[in-house]
Structure 1
Amino acid sequence: MDGTGGREVSSRVLTIPNLLSFFRLALVPVFLVFVILAQDALALLVLVVSSITDFLDGYLARRLDQVSRLGQLLDPAADRLYIFAALIGLAWREVIPWWLVAVIVARDIMLAILGVILANHGYGPLPVHHLGKVATFCLFWALPLLMLGEAFTALAPVSLPLGWAFALWGAFLYWWAGFVYIGETSRVIRREGDDGPGRSDTLDQKEVDGA
């Protein structure tokens, strides 16, 4: 659910889109097990089902006017969990190095710390930066491409180099966006001295979705 489209965001929990999001989250451990067991074809199938579910919950939320705050939180959470599951599973099998996992996880920990700092100053999350979206897009392509190369050896000569290119570029952009968020956090906090108490209404218009 990428946007509200001018619709009111409700606090409802039991909606059809949210149930689809919960189903998508429930598939994360299934996906992780398949990756660890080197059942890459099945893992990719789970990703396809998850992607279809992701599209449906956003479409139905707008179609049925069931956009909710919970749904806006579940979607980016699911995206990150799938990335982390793929990273951990592939690193466990030594398909990718653990340092790549550490680089990506450390950036998200840093982002969480920035969120706490902003909250302590009365601000909501920073708006999404396009670099963060591009980085997440690269990682979403990188990990399935790496699994595709592992699952089908005939595709490996093309799939694996592309997967590594997306992975390394995504990790670089991930941290580039992270430094942008550090700068924005510093700017916002410095501005607090001029504008008075933190104005969370200026920052919570967007979640850090795909950041």
Structure 2
Amino acid sequence: MNRFPLTFRGLSNAFPSTRPLRLSPSLLRHSTGLLRPSRNFLSTQTPPPKPVLKENIYTLPNLLTVSRIIACPILGWSILEGQFHLATSLLFYAGLTDLADGYLARRYKMQTVLGTILDPAADKALMTTLAVTLTMKGLLPLPLTVIILGRDALLSLSAFYIRYTSLPPPKTFARYWDFSLPSAEVRPTDISKANTALQLLLMGATTVSPLVPMDVSSGLQGLQVIVGVTTVWSGLSYIFSRDAVRLVSSKTKSKP
């Protein structure tokens, strides 16, 4: 191995009284080793981001549900104007689409978390429209309307809170209203399903009653009591039931 030192002659000529600076090859090899990047540094990589769970919300069942919501203002107008034939037709359409969207979602595997939110929201919009307008026409007692709307308001506030607490971070305004990012799924209880059916029966019978030639007031009053009791019962069932709300994660729902 060559052991001859390297000499910087320019420095030795400028400063003749000093010794020339000599760097041996071994010193150069040792110093260059300090400049080599660490293998651990090169192998360190940022972990890939976790996949964001999304689902297709533009399905036929969801569109049918939205159409039911859009029909509510027309239904309310027809009741206030005394157009009970039109109101009955729209109520029949609402019931038909309610059955159709549920069947299509189950039959063709088109269930979405948005659907679990839209479907009860459409029912509540329909109930609210019917309860308010029928009460304004004097066909429905005010205390029963307060019970129905009060329970629905409490359930709606609870749904907003559950959506916020179950939404994966970051919790932004845009992500909160992006329902293609599922966070929690609301499952109606058995008594809630029965109460919804009874409410629809009461609202339908009350809407049709002006078109019926006979007196049906006694039957409607009995049905009103049953609806009032089951409405309170169904509201309490969401509080004490463990299966009413289910958190959604990538493990429980596969990506489309």
TM-score over 0.5 for the pair:
yes
TM-superposed deviation, 1:173: 1.3
TM-superposed deviation, 1:114: 4.3
TM-superposed deviation, 1:95: 1.5
Contact 1:126 1:181 survives alignment (8 Å)? no
Report matched runs for 1:40-79 at 5 Å.
Answer: 40-79=84-123
State how far apart, in whole Å, the 1-side matches of 2:145 and 2:133 are: 10
Out of 168, 189, 199, the residue aligned to residue 129 of structure 1 is 189
State how far apart, in whole Å, the 1-side matches of 2:110 and 2:239 are: 34
TM-superposed deviation, 1:62: 3.3
Identity of aligned residues (%): 24
The amino acid of 2:156's aligned partner reads A
Larger Rg: 2
Inter-CA distance 61–133: structure 2 relative to 1 (3 Å threshold) = closer
TM-score normalized with structure 1 length? 0.71
Task: Spell out, residue by residue over 1:63-87, the C-alpha distance to the aligned partner (whole angstroms, 9 max, x if none).
Answer: 4332222222221111111111110
State how far apart, in whole Å, the 2-side matches of 1:22 and 1:92 are: 26
Residue in 2 aligned with 1:87?
Answer: 131
TM-superposed deviation, 1:97: 2.5
Residue in 1 aligned with 2:213?
Answer: 153
TM-score normalized with structure 2 length? 0.60
Task: Spell out, residue by residue over 1:26-78, the C-alpha distance to the aligned partner (whole angstroms, 9 max, x if none).
Answer: 11111111111121221111111122222222233334332222222221111
Inter-CA distance 179–16: structure 2 relative to 1 (3 Å threshold) = closer
Residue in 2 aligned with 1:164?
Answer: 221
Inter-CA distance 126–19: structure 2 relative to 1 (3 Å threshold) = closer
TM-superposed deviation, 1:118: 5.6
What is the RMSD of the two structures over their aligned residues, measured on CA atoms?
3.0
Q: List runs of 5+ in structure 1 lacking aligned partners.
A: 1-9, 186-198, 206-211
The answer to whether residue 83 in structure 2 is matched with residue 39 in structure 1 is: yes
Q: List runs of 5+ in structure 2 lacking aligned partners.
A: 1-53, 167-182
Contact 2:104 2:110 survives alignment (8 Å)? yes
State how far apart, in whole Å, the 2-side matches of 1:66 and 1:97 are: 39
Q: Number of aligned pairs?
A: 179
The amino acid of 2:223's aligned partner reads F
Task: Spell out, residue by residue over 1:162-190, the C-alpha distance to the aligned partner (whole angstroms, 9 max, x if none).
Answer: 333222211111112323434458xxxxx
Residue in 2 aligned with 1:177?
Answer: 234
The amino acid of 1:72's aligned partner reads T
